[in-house]
Amino acid sequence: MNLTYPISSVGELIGEPARTTILVSLLDGGSLPAGELARLAGISAQSASAHLSKLVDGGLLVPQSNGRHRYYKITSPEVVHALEALGAIATLPRPTATLRSREDIDISHARSCYDHLAGRVAVELTKALQNLKVIRTTGSRDYQLGPKGPAWFADLGIDVLALAHRRRTFARRCLDWTERQPHLAGALGSALFSRMLEAGWIARRHGTRALRITHRGARELQTRFGFTT
């Protein structure tokens, strides 16, 4: 490991294509076995084992045992924030005339980013929360509650006082890699995402991080925030 500039060691870990694929495959906050990660990365089981070992040693992944099987997941939200930020500076804006795949469009529209909402819907939602004085920026990396924040989140059944006492960052500004603008992350972003899932505003799609905005969700977003999905 490069002890003078540790970031170069992390860059080397992330920069290898197979390891990049493994990390991106786990950005939804879930865990997958080595065999499935090998299939997604298009590499042999032996090669996947070596890559996973390096990612675990580098602190980016953590292994979890379930019976005879071993699963891997991303270590912390901070790793996800770093990967999203790298995605934002590494992905060049597409010309308007460029044809995009359905999967590309769905991922850009709404997706899970570890345990919070990302994509265009998340960015628009975050802007709306700021305009409504529910949240406001503080410092260069975080949000804090605005004057209307406690009542607004309480109306959704979210206890912001309990969230504030967690060891995790309360409300992080996570740079969205497709929109290049911040969306709400941290404990507050996670709680809001969970509530939107429970309330049926959004639904997961099988085999992808892309999310579906339900009819109810589209109605709620239009009524509460004034934007269409």
Tell me the DSSP string of 123-151. HHHHHHHHHTTSEEEETTTEEEE-TTHHH
**pLDDT at position 98:** 56
**pLDDT at position 65:** 85
Residues 20 and 127 grouped into a single domain: no
Using CA atoms, how far apart are residues 70 and 85, in angstroms rounded to an integer? 29
Residues 108 and 212 grouped into a single domain: yes
**pLDDT at position 219:** 94
**pLDDT at position 125:** 96
Residues 191 and 117 grouped into a single domain: yes
Give pLDDT tens digits for 64-73: 887 778 899 9
**pLDDT at position 93:** 58
| Domain end call among 58, 75, 92 | 75
Which tokens belong to 93?
């804006």
Which residues of the chain are under the pLDDT cut of 70?
1-5, 91-100
Residues 154 and 88 grouped into a single domain: yes
Does any domain span residue 47? yes
| Domain end call among 27, 42, 75 | 75
Residues 138 and 167 grouped into a single domain: yes
Count helices and strands in the chain by DSSP H and E runs: 11, 11
Residues 55 and 39 grouped into a single domain: yes
Orientation of helix 6-15 relative to helix 17-25, angle to 10°:
90
Domain count, the chain: 2
Does any domain span residue 42? yes
Residues 128 and 174 grouped into a single domain: yes
Q: What is the pTM of this model?
A: 0.71
Residue 168 domain boundaries? 79-225
Does any domain span residue 1? no
| Domain end call among 75, 105, 123 | 75
CA distances 91 to 84, 154, 173, 180, Å, are 11, 38, 19, 10
Residues 42 and 120 grouped into a single domain: no
Residues 83 and 32 grouped into a single domain: no
Residues 208 and 109 grouped into a single domain: yes
Are 75 and 146 in contact by the 8 Å Cβ rule? The answer is: no
Give pLDDT tens digits for 30-82: 888 999 999 989 999 999 999 999 999 999 999 988 777 889 999 988 888 78
**pLDDT at position 55:** 94
Residue 16 DSSP code: S
Residues 200 and 102 grouped into a single domain: yes
Report the CATH number that the domain containing residue 41 is assigned in CATH: 1.10.10.10
**pLDDT at position 49:** 93
Residues 90 and 26 grouped into a single domain: no
Does any domain span residue 106? yes
With vertex at residue 156, the alpha carbon angle to CA 153 and CA 157, rounded to the nearest 5 degrees, is: 90
